[in-house]
Amino acid sequence: MILVEDIHFSYDGIYTALQGVSLQIEKGERVAIMGTNGAGKTTLIKHMNGLLRPQHGRVIVDGTDAKSLSIAELSRTVGLVWQNPDHQLFLDSVRKEIEFGLKNLGFSPEEANEQCTQTLKNLGLEGLAERSPFALSGGERKRVALATVLATEPRVLALDEPTIGQDAHQKERLASMLLDLNERERTVIVVTHDVEFVIENFPRTIAMADGRIVADGSTSSVLSNEDVLERCSLTPPQLTVAARALHKVFPQVPERLALLSELENAVSEILGVVP
Amino acid sequence: MSFLEVFQYTRQESLVHNLDPRSKMMLAFTLAAISLLFLNIVPLMIILMAMIPLLASAKSLRRWARSMKGMSYLLLFIIIFNTLLSTVSNPFSHSIALAIRLLALMTSFSIFFLTVHPDQLAQALIQMRVRFEFAFAMSMAMRYVPTLGQEAYAIMDAQKARGVELDKGNVLKRIRNIVPIIVPLIIVSIRRALSVAESMESRGFGASENRTYMELLKFRKRDWAVLFASLLLLVTSIYVRLFVPLPAWMLLQLPF
């Protein structure tokens, strides 16, 4: 469980990146953090594994104040997957790259080897184990970076823009993998602009703007709120747009829809066919 | 990495900032040359101290002090290694002088780089008959220093999250810990260089032979004054170094 209490943070003492953010994320939740560029999303998740320390307020991870834990200790609980995989890859094989983090965080060489093999298999990267990360494509590097974190089996997984540069197929695969992890009681937090990805996979959304949380609640309610969409400069999900358009012509269709199945039901109702 | 800050242009309104980059180039070159002419503690200290008012008038004293603090480990390293390995008669004195010389050299160039915008530098080089391509490359290099700095921090964060403890362990471990930072930094830089080159070419870089420039640099009275003062200082220092024996207090050495 992650508890963030009224944290403030400024990088340079002039511009405030976070101004009083409070939230609580329970074990086993799937949460999306959305918002404009510069809203403080990445700054917020960096507080969860101690890379940044709040200048005011506190962060509590699994009942312990993060203040008393080192980054390495916190990283065993909260795994961060970065936007740019090139910022962390430096070894000459994918396998070594994955084992590097494991050994740093205290896994024995045998355990590291075992975890590595398992993770590669789970992500369908077996074929790349001995390849150099630098020779891989952008999307593959991104998955390797993900593997380096997944292998450590953190209880909380926080991903920064995981869908950028991934094709539809890879996105689906990522989603099913995240759902799978979530089923095994892992908390999944994702920072993204990808509205469709959030709607399909994350029941809860936290919307941020200017270092503050502007909305925190069920994804369908947050993303159908025009005010929130406007303030966070998010494009409304296609489903919402479709629902609104339908609502104009067929008032019986609710204006707010969140799931594809709801839309299907509504449309079948209009057409008078039994779904 | 924080010591690099002192080579990074800061937008400010000051006398030094308003000087023509060419006269500042001469000034920086003179100061650097003087620091290379002498290798005794007292003259080097005098040079270093003389540069402090210049930094102050460029409103960058605090930034400079912060960078020098970041340098202190490197300086300590230089002093220790030189003292242990040097073959001169009083190695400690010698290595202190070397450390001050490094500081003086860095400071002299920092006065230039802190106050000259990369575009101004390019323009100055062009007006000194350097080919546009080279001048542009130079200003691009300067332009990317802060980007590289940011990238270095991002990489450090990424590695820290993987359990690399940058500020723990003995010297050997700390040196080994540089590898996970340096390798990604180099790779990211090369990747970016390639993509910048592509985007420049796709925007027609080098398409026309004769470029014209919107803003031309002009020498004013104070620029000439700085230029001649620097030149005079340089000539005098060389003369002193070659023909005038320094007084004993200037050659002062520590006893070991």
Along chain B (256 residues), what's the average pLDDT of each consecutive run of 10 residues? 76 90 94 93 93 91 88 90 86 91 93 90 89 86 85 92 83 85 93 92 85 85 94 94 86 77
* One domain for residues B37 and B109: yes
Nearest beta carbon to residue A89 from set B164, B179, B184: B184
Residue A87 near residue B154 (C-beta atoms within 8 A): yes
CATH number of the domain at A54, please: 3.40.50.300
Q: Is pLDDT larger for residue A207 or for residue B210?
A: A207
Residues A152 and A71 in one domain: yes
**Cβ separation B184–A75 shorter than 8 A:** no
Sheet with A2-10: strands ordered across: A16-25, A2-10, A56-61, A64-65
First-to-final CA distance of chain B: 32
Query: For residue range A28-81, what is the model confidence (pLDDT) as tens digits?
Result: 999 999 998 889 999 999 999 899 999 999 999 999 999 999 998 899 899 999
What pLDDT band is residue A221 in, cutting at 50, 70 and 90? confident
Q: List the single residue in B155, B157, B163 with the smallest CB-CB distance to A72.
A: B163
Residue B179 falls within a domain, yes or no? yes
- For residue A61, is it left (φ>0), alpha (ψ between -120 and 50) or beta? beta
Same domain, A251 and A227: no
| Helices vs strands, H then E, count in chain A | 11, 10
Split at pLDDT 50, 70, 90, the class of A262 is: confident
The dihedral built from the CA positions of residue A79, A84, A86 and A87, taken in this order, carries a sign that is negative
**What's the pLDDT score for residue B138?**
84
Residues A10 and A29 occupy one common structural domain = yes
d(CA B114, CA B61): 11
Q: Angle A133-A136-A142 (CA atoms, 0-180°, nearest 5)? A: 75
Instruction: Note whether B168 and B254 are same-domain residues.
Output: no
Determine, for residues A148 and B165 on separate chains, whether the beta-carbon distance falls below 8 Å: no
**Domain co-membership, B52 together with B101:** yes
Dihedral pair phi/psi, residue B48, rounded to 5°: -60, -45
**Higher-scoring residue by pLDDT: A252, A161:** A161
pLDDT greater than 80 at residue A256 = no
The predicted model scores a pTM of 0.74
Number of Cβ pairs < 8 A linking chain A and chain B: 60
Q: What is the DSSP letter of B248?
A: G
Residue A230 above 60 pLDDT?
A: yes
B164 touches A at CB < 8 Å:
yes
Same domain, B27 and B89: yes
Q: What is the predicted pLDDT for the residue at B98? A: 92
In this model, does residue A134 exceed pLDDT 80? Answer: yes
For residue A249, give its domain range. 237-275
Interface check for B161 against chain A (CB to CB < 8 A): the answer is: yes
Q: Which of B153, B162, B167 is the best substitution to test chain A (most A C-beta atoms within 10 A)?
A: B162
Span A138-163, average pLDDT = 91
Residues B1 and B110 both lie in one domain: yes
Backbone angles phi, psi at B96, to 5 degrees: -60, -45
Query: Is residue B7 domain-resident?
Result: yes
pLDDT at A275: 58
**Same domain for B141 and B184?**
yes
Which of the listed residues B205, B230, B247 is the one where a domain comes to its end? B205
Cα(B188)–Cα(B149) distance, rounded to whole angstroms? 12
Contacts of B189 in chain A (CB under 8 A): none
Torsion of CA A107, A113, A119, A122, to 10 degrees: -140
Q: Does A11 touch chain B (CB under 8 A)?
A: no
Of A72, A84, A148, the CB nearest to B165: A72
Pair B93, B18 in one domain: yes
Chain A: give the shortest CA distance to residue B182, in Å.
Answer: 9
What pLDDT band is residue A258 in, cutting at 50, 70 and 90?
A: low
Cα separation of B243 and B161, whole Å? 60
Give burial (CB, 10 Å; 0-12/13-18/19+) of B204.
exposed
Which amino acid would we find at residue B165?
Answer: E
Asked if A229 and A256 sit in the same domain, the reply is no
pLDDT computed for residue A100 by the predictor: 92
Which candidate in A45, A49, A61, A87 is best for mutational testing of the B interface (most B CBs within 10 A)? A87
Q: What's the Cα-to-Cα distance from B75 to each of A128, B3, B175, B252, rounded to whole Å?
A: 44, 12, 16, 21
C-alpha distances in Å from residue A111, one per residue of A31, A99, A108: 30, 9, 5
Contact indicator for B43, B246 with CB cutoff of 8 Å: yes
Give domain status of residue B124, yes or no.
no
Residue A125: the pLDDT is 87
Q: How far is A160 from chain B (nearest CA, A)?
A: 12
Radius of gyration of chain A (CA): 20
Q: What rounded mean pLDDT belongs to chain A?
A: 89
- Distance between CA atoms of residues B68 and B165, nearest Å: 24
Is the same domain home to B71 and B107?
A: yes
Q: Is B161 helix (H, G, I), strand (E, B) or coil?
A: coil
CA angle B71, B74, B75 (to 5 degrees): 85
Number of domains in chain B: 2
Q: Which two tokens stand for residue A66?
A: 């993060």
Identify the pLDDT of residue B175: 84
Structure token pair of residue A5: 């209490």
Q: Which of A47, A86, A150 has the highest number of chain B CBs within 10 A, making it the mutation to test binding with B?
A: A86
CA distance B22 to B11: 18
Cα three-residue angle B27-B32-B38, rounded to 5 degrees: 130
Which domain covers residue B242, as residue numbers? 1-116+218-256
Query: Contact A148/B162, CB-based, under 8 Å?
Result: yes
Query: CB-based burial of residue B188 (10 Å sphere; 0-12 exposed, 13-18 middle, 19+ buried)?
Result: buried
Q: Are residues A123 and A183 in the same domain?
A: yes
- Same domain membership, residue B92 and residue B186: no
pLDDT band for A213, please (50, 70, 90 cuts): very high
Q: Are residues A205 and A257 in the same domain?
A: no
Question: Which B residues in the span 70-129 are in contact with A, Cβ-Cβ below 8 Å?
Answer: none
pLDDT tens for each residue of A78-107: 999 998 899 989 999 999 999 999 998 888
Q: Is residue B121 part of a domain?
A: no
Return the pLDDT at B96: 92
Contact B162 A51 (CB under 8 A): no
What pLDDT, on a 0 to 100 scale, did the predictor assign at position B1?
54
Structure tokens at B175: 């040196």
Domain count, chain A: 2
**A148 inside 8 A of chain B by CB:** yes
Partner-chain contact A104 B191, CB within 8 Å: no
